Amino acid sequence: MERLVDQLRAGDESAFSELVERMHPQIVRIARRFVQSDATAEDIAQDTWQAVISGIHAFEGRSALSTWILQIAINRAKSRGVRDQRMRPVDDESQFNILDQWRNPPGAWDALPETMVANRELARLVAAAIDELPEQQKAVISLRDVEGIDSREVREILQISEENQRVLLHRARNKVRSAIEAAVQPMANRQSHSSAAPSATTPAGSR
């Protein structure tokens, strides 16, 4: 990492291009969770790279370079989301008691109907459900479950504690699951009714 940072500070265009090629799609995906359009997410990504160029000399190396860059991107995405009045700061506490414990813990993620697994419709439902989450829950679940970033790095990016991350992630997953179940249940009911319907009788005298 130190070598890459030195190259960036020295204005090495090839090193910067490789970094952009590696991280740009991820930055756009994350930014898109907070703003209204792909074009805005792309603008945030470009702003992020400008901030990286102008701020690389101040980078102290206390975290990974990628962590620092994602932190810049998320902060800009959140700010733009607030400006676009797209954030939902009010959280739903109904699933938790006064001790911040589950009232009804969510079931396993793999309990969805098999017909929905690896289905594009499921991916659409998940994306839509994440899009409706409060700001911090959206950030945590996007980084952990969508981008696959490890817990330690997510805490550094969002500057939150391990316990806070755990609660935010559980709440986000529960809300996403509830949204999916609400959409899937009518489909499951229709399948059940269809399978339970009597088969047509064979006309008399037919062979």
User: Is domain 109-193 annotated with CATH 3.90.470.20?
Assistant: no
Can you give the pLDDT at residue 87?
A: 45
Binning pLDDT at 50, 70 and 90, where does residue 43 land? very high
125/122 Cα distance (integer angstroms):
5
Range scoring the smallest mean pLDDT among 102-106, 166-170, 178-182: 102-106
SS3 for 21-46 is HHHHHHHHHHHHCCCCCHHHHHHHHH
Can you give the pLDDT at residue 144?
A: 93
170/5 Cα distance (integer angstroms):
35
Domain residue extents for the chain: 2-83, 109-193
Can you give the pLDDT at residue 88?
A: 44
Q: Which amino acid is at 85?
A: Q
Q: Mind listing the pLDDT tens digit for each residue in 129-160?
A: 998 999 999 999 999 998 999 999 999 999 99
SS3 for the chain is CHHHHHHHHCCCHHHHHHHHHHHHHHHHHHHHCCCCCHHHHHHHHHHHHHHHHHHHHHCCCCCCHHHHHHHHHHHHHHHHHHHCCCCCCCCCCCCECCCCCECCCCCCHHHCCHHHCCCHHHHHHHHHHHHCCCHHHHHHHHHHHHCCCCHHHHHHHHCCCHHHHHHHHHHHHHHHHHHHHHHHHHHHHHHHHHHHCCCCCCCCCCC
What b-and-e string marks burial along 94-106, b requiring 16 or more CB atoms within 10 Å of the CB? ebbeeeeeeeeeb
45 vs 103, higher pLDDT: 45
Can you give the pLDDT at residue 167?
A: 95
User: Is domain 2-83 annotated with CATH 1.10.1740.10?
Assistant: yes
Q: Is the pLDDT of residue 204 over 80?
A: no
Q: Whole-model pTM above 0.75?
A: no
